[in-house]
Amino acid sequence: MGALHEGHASLIRKARKENDIVTVSIFVNPLQFGKNEDFKKYPRPMRNDIGICRQNDVDYVFHPDARQFCRADSLTEVGVKKISDVYCGKFRQGHFKGVATIVLKLFNVIQPANVYFGEKDFQQLFIIKKLVRDLNVPVRIIACPTVREKTGLAISSRNAYLNECEKQLAPLIYGTLQEARKKVIRGGLKTAAGVRKFVRTKLSPLIKGVRGLSSSPLKNKLRNVIESFYDGLVSIGRKERFAGVIALTALLWAICSFGLYLGLKSVNIQLNFWQSVFMLSMTGVAAVIPAAPGSLGTMEYFVILGLGIFGIEGNHAFSFAVIHRFFSWFSPVLLGMLVLIKNQLSFGDLKKKATQN
């Protein structure tokens, strides 16, 4: 799916040694992501991926457009029964069906003789082998060892999501399994129940650590905002583009602040421009806090709180909060509804388009 790392590079190198032509497919498959998974934020560093392919002497990179490769009118899907519904598949309904469908499409388009998969995604590897065997796909599946960091943690694109604490906890899984394996070989563990007890005991610090990481909705939302901001900075790339984004952002803030300044003037609230900028910041803080849809109630509270700092009494501040709500939220929503009606679109259509993009 892209975001290539040393694990992918090891597959490419093996393919290069064993074949005359090497093709790498890079495609973030929307069909294998669940409703609340990370499809939109999944890393897509295409320039870096192409660089890794060049360094490893790849002949072709196949990078299809999602709208063409996963057409909205497609009615066909591929699934491998039973083995797709256990382990990882039990918690990610439809995931392996999406994987199998796209992998088969890739086989049909590229028509490779040999295909290289890492053992890290072991259930996926087993499912693809079963798919090839059951459907008589003329391709040979070659399993390659998992590449790990020095800590024992399997190298993965999603490791970027781990904070420092999680990076220290995660290798405990592999280390514990290796320790249990040695004990079984030496005869120290002789039953499945004994292995389970040993693993659970050893992993208790990890379980406690994960529970400790579960945080409040506010903390999660703040973390998402920071991550989104960082992802945005990374996507900007070049310095000149970054300067342009900063300039446009400053212009947008100036326009919004001036509009707020005029709105305050219209209801006889005498604040200067910079005080209006502060009020705009207060509404921004309100939007970050988990609350009802559209920050209903939270935004009004922060508007009243902000105006109270400048000596505006509660009733007067509340009146402005209601007016501000109407013009800043309800009117754009109403306009959006009219656009949907005019174009004969539903919320389901918008959701489908967003998933495809």
Please confirm, yes or no, whether 316 is among the known catalytic residues: no
Catalytic pick among 8, 63, 95, 324: 8
Distance (Å, whole) CA 343 – CA 110: 38
Which pLDDT does position 238 carry in this prediction? Answer: 57
Q: pLDDT digits over 304-326, tens only?
A: 887 888 888 777 778 877 777 77
Residue 164 has pLDDT above 60, yes or no: yes
In sign, the C-alpha dihedral spanning 288, 291, 292, 297 is negative
Which pLDDT does position 115 carry in this prediction? Answer: 97
Q: pLDDT digits over 171-212, tens only?
A: 888 898 899 999 999 988 888 888 888 888 888 866 665 555
- Kindly state the percentage of the chain with pLDDT values over 90: 38
CA angle 164, 285, 158 (to 5 degrees): 30
Which pLDDT does position 300 carry in this prediction? Answer: 75
Which pLDDT does position 264 carry in this prediction? Answer: 80
Range 283-293 average pLDDT: 65
Which pLDDT does position 232 carry in this prediction? Answer: 63
Which pLDDT does position 212 carry in this prediction? Answer: 57
- Kindly state the percentage of the chain with pLDDT values over 70: 82
Residue 165: which pLDDT band, with cuts at 50, 70 and 90?
confident
Residue type, 353: K
Which pLDDT does position 304 carry in this prediction? Answer: 82
Range 11-18 average pLDDT: 97
Segment 163-170 long-range contacts (CB within 8 Å, at least 24 positions apart): 165/209, 165/213, 166/209, 166/213, 169/205, 169/206, 169/209, 169/210, 170/206
Distance (Å, whole) CA 32 – CA 94: 7
Which pLDDT does position 161 carry in this prediction? Answer: 81
Residue 16 has pLDDT above 80, yes or no: yes
Residue 292 has pLDDT above 70, yes or no: no
Which pLDDT does position 293 carry in this prediction? Answer: 58
Q: pLDDT digits over 31-60, tens only?
A: 998 877 888 888 888 999 999 999 999 999
Which pLDDT does position 299 carry in this prediction? Answer: 72
Q: Which is more confidently placed, 219 or 44?
A: 44
Residue 257: which pLDDT band, with cuts at 50, 70 and 90?
confident
Residue 298: which pLDDT band, with cuts at 50, 70 and 90?
confident
Would you state the structure tokens that stand for residue 57, as one six-digit string?
Answer: 């002497």
Q: pLDDT digits over 60-114, tens only?
A: 999 999 889 999 899 999 999 999 999 999 989 899 999 999 999 999 999 999 9
Q: Which is more confidently placed, 339 or 108?
A: 108
